[in-house]
Amino acid sequence: MEKVKVGIVGLGRLGRQHAENLAYRIPNCELAAVCSVIEAEVKEAQEKWNVPYGYLKYEDMLDNKELDAIFIASPSGFHCQQIKQALEAGFHVFSEKPLGLYLEEAEEVQEVVEAHPNQVFMLGFMRRYDRSYAAAKEKIEQGHIGEPIFIRCYGLDPAAQLDSFLQFAKSNYSGGLFLDMAIHDLDLARWYLKTEPKEVWAIGGGYARSEFDEIQDAETGAAMVRFENNAMGVFLAGRNCAHGYHIETEIIGTKGSLRIGTVPERNQIVIMSETGVVQECVAGFLERFEQAYLSEVEEFVNCILENRRPSVTVEDGVESTRLGYACKKSFETKQLVDVTKDKVTFQ
Ligand code: NAI
């Protein structure tokens, strides 16, 4: 195979970015098919990126045996079903996060992935491919901060998009703040600390917008996690960040600490004027993680061509879903949740 022929499902905010990367920015890849339930999106994508096949039904795209791989960027509630269908139809599969909204469905997907060992499966935890996050991993592995014992993460969406997030939260497709937003940080915690979560206590509310309370979701929420090796994690997620898109991570070790993204600056410009000293903030995920979205797709395509497996595994998807789901349950029940391997139970 000289070029990997990919079909993508979901042409929304992120799907369009992935489609453009697949169509133009990866030399050994061809975007051969697009699928969405919205006809106008399919037509627009076909014209814009010169894509030969367009589908309104996912199953019809899976019947196209010219394709090698399926790329899933549909709403989160569809991921598990669409991953299983694509694997069973013989395709390599990339799926956006989260793997699933419920632990049972995520575990079912794991079984299907493991039953198809010759097909590449990759999950979109793109932060692991971001240069700064990847460099931090190397520094930790090289021992620069000793043994990591604490991780603090901020995952804050811009307040300017609060209304659209409220609609999204009401849609039933999001899985709630912790599974949708904090999931990246929960994955990073497992990756950096190399341990699994033991118990979690999550709180939050609709502080600026009480509508979030009505739908039992948090506009801003915090989770505190104890890991099996007694390391600690504090995760703040939110939809109401006044200054823009703020993704920050701090890891404290026995011999030092490191931080990523403490000032979420858009670029290196500092404007000094009568209003003060100002650095603009990055506006959203597409801008902050532009390089990571491209790098993760390159890795997926190269894994197929070189018959390798990506470092992000289906187990990472299951374990992050287990923790994200436990955060959601703790938030909803106001109880400490036991999140050890075989159970998510209340104490
Ligand atoms: P969106 O709502 O903007 O787009 C969803 C797309 O899927 C639309 O094109 C819609 O028409 C299509 N669609 C809906 N139901 C469908 C179905 N049954 N079959 C086929 N297509 C269907 O959503 P967005 O923000 O692009 O998110 C998509 C996924 O990407 C979500 O799972 C989300 O969690 C994930 N995501 C990941 C991010 C990351 O940083 N890795 C950032 C943003 C989203």
pLDDT, residue 67, reads 98
What distance in angstroms lies between residue 79's CA and the mean position of ligand 1's atoms?
Answer: 10
Burial class (CB in 10 A: 0-12, 13-18, 19+), 343: exposed
Atom of ligand 1 nearest to the CA of 15: 26
Atom of ligand 1 nearest to the CA of 16: 26
What distance in angstroms lies between residue 132's CA and the mean position of ligand 1's atoms?
Answer: 26
What distance in angstroms lies between residue 72's CA and the mean position of ligand 1's atoms?
Answer: 8
pLDDT, residue 342, reads 53
Q: Specify the DSSP class assigned to residue 21.
A: I
Residues 52 and 104: their CA atoms lie apart, in Å, by: 37
Percent of the chain at pLDDT above 70?
98
What distance in angstroms lies between residue 73's CA and the mean position of ligand 1's atoms?
Answer: 5
The residues lining ligand 1, judged by C-beta closer than 6 Å to any ligand atom, are: 9-15, 35-38, 41, 58, 73-76, 78, 96-97, 124, 126, 180, 285
Residues 98 and 56: their CA atoms lie apart, in Å, by: 23
Q: Specify the DSSP class assigned to residue 23.
A: I
Residues 215 and 202: their CA atoms lie apart, in Å, by: 17
CB atoms within 10 A of CB 36: 23
Instruction: With a cut of 70, say whether residue 208 has pLDDT above it.
Output: yes
What distance in angstroms lies between residue 297's CA and the mean position of ligand 1's atoms?
Answer: 16
97-107 pLDDT, tens digit per residue, is 999 999 999 99
What is the mean predicted confidence (pLDDT) over 6-14? 97
116-143 pLDDT, tens digit per residue, is 999 999 999 999 999 999 999 999 999 9
Q: Which of 16, 37, 48, 164 to mutate to test the pocket of ligand 1 (most atoms within 8 A of CB)?
A: 37
Q: Sheet containing 69-72: give its strands across.
A: 53-55, 29-35, 4-9, 69-72, 92-95, 121-123
Which of helix, strand or coil describes residue 18?
A: helix
> Structural domains in the chain?
4-126+292-316 (3.40.50.720), 128-286+320-346 (3.30.360.10)
Burial class (CB in 10 A: 0-12, 13-18, 19+), 277: exposed
- 8 A C-beta contact, residue 42 and residue 55: yes
Report how far apart, in Å, the C-alpha atoms of 168 and of each of 110, 184, 214 are.
27, 18, 14
193-207 pLDDT, tens digit per residue, is 999 999 999 999 999
What is the mean predicted confidence (pLDDT) over 68-80? 97
- 8 A C-beta contact, residue 68 and residue 41: no
Instruction: With a cut of 90, say whether residue 340 has pLDDT above it.
Output: no
46-67 pLDDT, tens digit per residue, is 999 999 999 999 999 999 999 9
What distance in angstroms lies between residue 140's CA and the mean position of ligand 1's atoms?
Answer: 33
Atom of ligand 1 nearest to the CA of 41: 9
Q: What is the dihedral of CA 7, 11, 14, 17, to 10 degrees?
A: 70
Strand ranges inside the chain, DSSP E: 4-9, 29-35, 53-55, 69-72, 92-95, 121-123, 148-158, 197-205, 220-227, 232-241, 246-253, 257-260, 271-273, 276-278, 337-338, 345-346
Q: Whose CA is nearest to atom 40 of ligand 1?
A: 285
Within its chain, how far is the Cα of 138 from the centroid? Answer: 21
What distance in angstroms lies between residue 274's CA and the mean position of ligand 1's atoms?
Answer: 43
Supply the angle between the helices 314-333 and 103-114 in degrees, to the nearest 10.
Answer: 170
In which residue are the tokens 């289906």 written? Answer: 314
Residues 192 and 195: their CA atoms lie apart, in Å, by: 8
pLDDT, residue 345, reads 63
Q: Whose CA is nearest to atom 1 of ligand 1?
A: 12
What distance in angstroms lies between residue 212's CA and the mean position of ligand 1's atoms?
Answer: 21
CB atoms within 10 A of CB 178: 31
Q: Which of 57, 74, 287 to mutate to test the pocket of ligand 1 (most atoms within 8 A of CB)?
A: 74
